[in-house]
Amino acid sequence: MRLVIGIGNPDRGDDAVGLAVARRVREAAPADVTVTELDGDQLKLLDAWDGAGEVYVVDAVCSGGRPGATYRFDASGPLGTRFAHRGTHTFSLAEVIELARALRRLPTRLAGYGIEAATFTLGAGLSPEAEAAAGAVAGQILDELTGGGPRCAWEQSA
Amino acid sequence: MTHGSRVRVPGLARVEGEGGLEIVTSGGRVTEARLDIYEPPRFFEGLLRGRAHTEPPDITARICGICPVAYQMSACAAIEDACGVTVPDSILALRRLLYCGEWIESHALHVYLLHAPDFLGYESGIHMARDHPAIVERGLRLKRAGNRLMEVIGGRSVHPVNVRVGGFYRAPGRRDLHGLAGELEWARQAALDTVSWVAGFSFPDYERDYEFVSLRDPAGYPVMGRRIVSSRGLDIGASEYDDHFTEFQVPHSTALHSVLDGNRTYLVGPLARYSLSSAHLPDVAASAARAAGLGATCANPFRSIIVRAVELVYACDEALRLIEGYEPPDPPSAGVPAAEATGYGCTEAPRGMLYHRYRITGGGAIADAKIVPPTSQNQRAIEADLRDFAQARLDLPTDRLTWECEQAVRSYDPCISCATHFLDLRVSPS
C-alpha cells in the first residue's frame, strides 16, 4: 500500500499546512494511493502506516527558518537530532519515526516533508508562504508517486 | 557543584509545551528555584469575550491537545451553572465515560513515554523502546484504548467535536460502546500490570507536607463534582473558588501562580485525588494500590507514577462499568437557554482540578471568562519542592543535579501549553 499522511491542527494557522498538502495530493493521486489526515497526536502515525510499504508524511515545522521553506528527509537511516525538536506537537515527527524504528514498525520506505510555518494563530488560515509551499510539496510528492521525485537522503529548499 | 552558581535547563524534555528550569545557589544555599514558562500566552480568556454562551466547549478544547475533554467538561459545567440547568444523570454518565478515555490516554502517555524512562535510566521513551519494546507497545495500546473511547463518544480524540453545552450533539449507540468493552478489559489488565511494573522502580525518599486540593465527587472517585475539598479542611462550592484561590503574576513565567487563602501553597492532581479519595476506589484499583505499597495517602511526588497507574486501573474499570449500564441519553442534550448570570465549573483534568468561570449577558454573550488550569496551580508547589530537593543534593556534580531536578519536574506531569496565560501588564507611576 502507498500512503500519504498530512498532519496538523486545522484551527491553528500554518499548523494545518500538512492537511492542505494531503488534500491537494488527494485530488491528483494515482488510484492505488491512500491519503489520510491526522490531528496533532503524532503517535497515531504508528497505527496509520501499519502495513503500508511506501509512505509520505507532511507536517508543519517551527525551527526559525524562512516561512514557507520546505524540508525533506528519508527515514531509511537514523535521523539523529537534526529534526528532533522541530515538530509542533508533543512528539515531533522525527521522534515518532525513531520510536517506530525502535519498535520495528517503520514502513519499508518513508519520506517526511516539513514546511516552515509563519503563524500558529488560533483560528487563522494558511499564510501565503505556507499556501505556496503546500502546492510545491504536493507537486513533489505526486512526482515521487509517479516515479520522478527526489531520491536524496534529505534536502532543504531555502 | 560549586557554591554561588546556577543550574539551568533552557528547554525541559518530556513535558508538554515549552519551559525551562533554573536553580540559583549562593553560599551553599539554594536561593531560587524557578520553573520558567516562556511559551507565549494565548489569550483564550480574552478571545472568549463576546462569543456566544454555547461556544466555550469548542473554543477552550483547543487549549490542549492532551486534555481537551477537561476543558469541555469544565466549560459545560460552568455555563450550565450560570443558566440554572441541571443535566440528566444519563448525560453525566456519558460525560464521565468520555473523561475516562482522556484519563487513560493521558496517563498512559505520561507513565510509559514521559516518566518511566527517568526511573530506568533512559534519555527518552525512544531509547527505552529499543530495550523494552513489548512494554512500550503495551503503553501505546493502552493509550489507543483511551483514544478510541474518545473517538466513539467525542467524534475524534484530539479536540472532540460531539460535546455541546447541555450534553452531546449525538449519543453513541449501545452497540458502538459495547464494541469497546473487549479492548477495555484488556486495558484494565494491562493497567494492573502497569501498577506492578512501576511499583518495582526505585524512588527517592522524598515525602512532602502538601495541602492537597481536589473535587469531591458524589459519583465516587473524583472526576466531576461541585465541592472543592482540601486535606486541611477546605470544603467549598465551585462558586466560592475566587474567594479562596488567588492568582498572581511572577516575572519568570507566562503562567500565573496560585495560592489558597492568602498564602498557602497547594497541590492538585493524581496525588491529591488519591490522598483525598482513595477510599472511593473500586476494589480492583484499591487492591492494586495496596499491593504496590501505597497507603491511604501518597505525598512523594516521584511515586505519582504509581498513583497514575492506579488511576489507569480505575479509569478502565469505571469505563467498563459505565458501558455495562449505558442507556443513550434521549434527547442527547438538555436545552440551555442563556441567562444573565455568572457560572462556575470544576472538573478533574488528568493533571488536576481545572476551574472555569463565565459571566453571561442577557443576550447570551460571554462578558468575562476565567480559566485556571492545574499546572498553573501547581507551579508554586513545584518550585518549593525543587528548592528543597536541590538543597539536599548540592554536593552532586552539576550534570547529575540537573538530571535529578528535571526528573523531579516531570513527576508533576506539567502541561505548560495549558498553563500559559494572559499577561496582565500594568504600568504604575514611579
pLDDT at residue B10 in the model: 61
Query: Per-residue pLDDT tens for B325-359?
Result: 999 999 999 999 999 999 999 999 999 999 999 99
pLDDT cut 70: percent of chain B above it? 90
Burial profile B67-88: b = 16 or more Cβ within 10 angstroms, e = fewer: bbbbbbbbbbbbbbbbbebebe
Q: For A11, which of B62, B109, B137 is closest by C-beta distance?
A: B62
Single-letter code of the amino acid located at B28: G
Question: Rounded to whole angstroms, how far apart are CA atoms B336 and B338?
Answer: 6
In a domain, B394, yes or no: no
Kindly indicate the confidence band of residue B5, based on its pLDDT and cuts at 50, 70 and 90.
Answer: low
In a domain, B395, yes or no: no
How many structural domains is chain B composed of? 1
In a domain, B370, yes or no: yes
Low-confidence winner among A98-102, B42-46, B60-64, B102-106 (lowest mean pLDDT) = B42-46
User: DSSP 3-state assignment of B24?
Assistant: strand
In a domain, B16, yes or no: no
Low-confidence winner among B12-21, B54-63, B133-142 (lowest mean pLDDT) = B12-21
Question: Rounded to whole angstroms, how far apart are CA atoms B185 and B316?
Answer: 7
A124 touches chain B (CB under 8 A): no
For the cut 70, the answer to whether the pLDDT of residue B16 exceeds it is: no
In a domain, B13, yes or no: no
Distances (CA, A) of B8 to B24, B118, B146: 8, 19, 36
- Which of B51, B126, B131 to mutate: most A Cβ within 10 Å? B126
Per-residue pLDDT of chain A (158 residues; tens, 9 = 90+): 899 999 988 888 898 999 999 999 999 999 999 999 988 788 999 999 998 999 999 999 887 889 999 989 888 877 765 555 444 346 778 889 999 999 999 999 999 998 999 988 777 899 999 999 999 999 999 999 998 655 443 444 43
B interface residues, A as partner, C-beta within 8 Å? 11, 16, 42, 47, 62, 65-66, 109, 113, 124-127, 129-130, 133, 136-137, 140, 143-144, 147, 156-159
In a domain, B121, yes or no: yes
Q: How close B71 comes to chain A (CA, Å)?
A: 16
For residue A12, the chain B residues in CB contact (below 8 A) are: 62
pLDDT at residue A151 in the model: 44
Asked if B65 and A12 come within 8 Å (Cβ–Cβ), the reply is: no
Question: Rounded to whole angstroms, how far apart are CA atoms B390 and B386?
Answer: 6
Question: Rounded to whole angstroms, how far apart are CA atoms B376 and B255?
Answer: 6
The parent domain of residue B133 ranges over 44-380
For residue B111, the chain A residues in CB contact (below 8 A) are: none
Low-confidence winner among A29-38, B9-18, B218-227 (lowest mean pLDDT) = B9-18
pLDDT at residue A88 in the model: 38
For the cut 60, the answer to whether the pLDDT of residue B175 exceeds it is: yes
Low-confidence winner among A76-85, B90-99, B200-209 (lowest mean pLDDT) = A76-85
DSSP assignment of A27-65 equals HH--TTEEEEEE-S-GGGHHHHTTT-SEEEEEEEE-SSS
In a domain, B32, yes or no: no
pLDDT at residue A73 in the model: 87
Kindly indicate the confidence band of residue B11, based on its pLDDT and cuts at 50, 70 and 90.
Answer: low
For the cut 80, the answer to whether the pLDDT of residue B244 exceeds it is: yes
For residue A95, the chain B residues in CB contact (below 8 A) are: 124, 126
Peptide bond into B328 cis (omega under 30): no
Its sign, for the CA torsion A110, A115, A119, A124, is: negative
pLDDT at residue B421 in the model: 38
Phi-psi region of B32 (alpha: psi -120 to 50; beta: other; left: phi over 0): beta
For residue B48, the chain A residues in CB contact (below 8 A) are: none
Query: Per-residue pLDDT tens for B133-162?
Result: 999 999 999 999 999 999 999 987 677 889
Structural domains in chain A? Answer: 2-157 (3.40.50.1450)
Asked if A89 and B11 come within 8 Å (Cβ–Cβ), the reply is: no
Angle at the Cα of A114 from the Cα atoms of A108 and A120, rounded to 5 degrees? 140
In a domain, B294, yes or no: yes
B263 exposed, middle or buried (CB, 10 Å; 0-12, 13-18, 19+)?
exposed
Single-letter code of the amino acid located at B256: L
DSSP state of B220: B
Please enumerate in sequence order all residues whose Cβ is within 8 A of that of A103, keeping only pairs 6 or more positions apart, or say none.
Answer: A46, B129, B133, B136, B137
Asked if A39 and B129 come within 8 Å (Cβ–Cβ), the reply is: no
A106 vs B33: which has the higher pLDDT:
A106
pLDDT at residue B60 in the model: 86
Question: Rounded to whole angstroms, how far apart are CA atoms B191 and B278?
Answer: 17
Kindly indicate the confidence band of residue B420, based on its pLDDT and cuts at 50, 70 and 90.
Answer: very low
- CATH number of the domain within which B303 lies: 1.10.645.10
For the cut 70, the answer to whether the pLDDT of residue B187 exceeds it is: yes
ipTM of the complex: 0.83
Question: Rounded to whole angstroms, how far apart are CA atoms A89 and A86?
Answer: 9
Q: If you measure CA to CA, which chain B residue comes closest to A90? A: B16
For the cut 90, the answer to whether the pLDDT of residue B270 exceeds it is: yes
